Structure 1
């Protein structure tokens, strides 16, 4: 049974919706957690897109602040693009900062799940460009003229190996068109630089956020003096779907410490 203090907020990735995390949400609730998964407006289907990183940031920050004001402590689990959103949204919300300001609750842990964890001023596409992979972008992502996009092959690149075939169709059906412009929007805040524990969950077979990217994020945080606790799963980009039990075990371990 999970500690009663632990409330989980999952910040979903690009093309995702709350339904994309059905297996992990159900498993965490069964383990005794209170789970929240706010839908990000950059996946609201508007054409042309009318929401990006700023709107996503505001939604997540409002959700988490409401929980903290109730006196709850929050573990933030950020997946893929959700790392950009959480890093941008969760500044000044740590237990340490809230306590100093005589406010209840606080973010106890930032958990990056094959997620972007970069500095203020950095956009997702900056990493892609640094690794020399910009030529892959139009091959994998199908951008419309309005900059909204879908994934050309979500089963290979988003689901990846290890999925139950009978559930893959359900998983893919939950995904939505995304405002691809959010990939180019830089952070205006950097929550992980504050006094809050950080964990990173590597996915070694990831074809969307490659393992080299993931290692570079951790190395970048460590270069800034941040201690990062790491875990590793041999799976693709969606361990919430392909390694659900292992994900719960990791979150239990983080929550217990």
Structure 2
């Protein structure tokens, strides 16, 4: 449960997702006393051909978070899917501990990767599917026309599957209707900045039924971060790629645990 000194929450959207896709999670976090921000990424601007990419999305997220931390706010970033690539690239140098050593107020206290990409500098989203020999699955799952404004062929199967959890049928229908076109170029955009997870504590929400970012992919990224000397707290959620809809209470519970750790100095 939130307290008067609770941090702000910034939700960084996944590909094809807009802020409305996170309204259930936002409302649940707000009800717990958090101030929640969900910026719309430039890569889902719906322009054709698309103009936004990882780097313009980086500007959107970093600008918002800089405004918050310079106002003295403590921030937790919840990053979903592709949003992990954005937050990883955008939040370097903004860690709470880093800013404290510089005599500056505010900062990002924690990164929550929600079945999200947590890659090192120089890597890109498609590198994982290539590494695991799944590159051919991309054409089966996503329609990518010449202008790269990609859409998901069967979003219900990929994002929800058979794991509706606490979501109602009405919620699922509305959620899927809100998805939009996304710039497929982002699959190949690389992390150009020092990854934020090298500086800021990490919790990874490992979704064991995910088919967009399969468990093997998630485990590989967790292992890689740990191999680079960083701790990762792992929370397993038995759901597919939309825990913010199907397992909202578990996500809020994970955030509450993070906040409790910040409050205790852990």
Q: What residue is the counterpart of 1:135 in the other structure?
A: 136
Matches within 5 A, 1:1-257: 1-3=1-3, 4-160=5-161, 161-162=163-164, 163-189=167-193, 190-194=195-199, 196-257=200-261
What is the CA-CA distance between 1:137 and the residue it aligns to? Answer: 0.4
If the length of structure 1 is used for normalisation, what is the TM-score?
0.98
Instruction: Find the residue that maps to 1:75 and give its secondary structure.
Output: strand
Residues 105-143 of structure 1 deviation map (CA, whole Å, 9 limit, x = unaligned): 010001101000010000000011000000110100000
SS in 1 for 2:192: coil
Is the 1:10–1:38 contact (alpha carbons within 8 Å) kept by the matching residues of 2? yes
Query: Within 1, Cα distance between the matches of 2:135 and 2:6?
Result: 43
* TM-score, structure 2 as length reference: 0.95
Unaligned segments of structure 1, at least 5 residues? none
SS at match of 2:69: helix
- CA-CA distance at 1:100 after TM superposition: 2.1
Asked if the contact 1:5–1:72 (Cα under 8 Å) also holds between the matched residues in 2, the reply is no
C-alpha RMSD of the superposition? 0.8
Query: Structure 1 residue 71: deviation in Å?
Result: 0.6
Aligned pair count?
256
Any runs of at least 4 consecutive aligned residues in structure 1 with deviations exceeding 4 A, and if so which?
A: none
1:101: how far off? 2.1
Cα offset for 1:83?
A: 0.3
After TM superposition, the structure 1 stretch with the greater mean CA deviation from structure 2, 70-79 or 153-162, is 153-162
Q: Is the 8 A contact 1:42 1:53 kept in 2?
A: yes
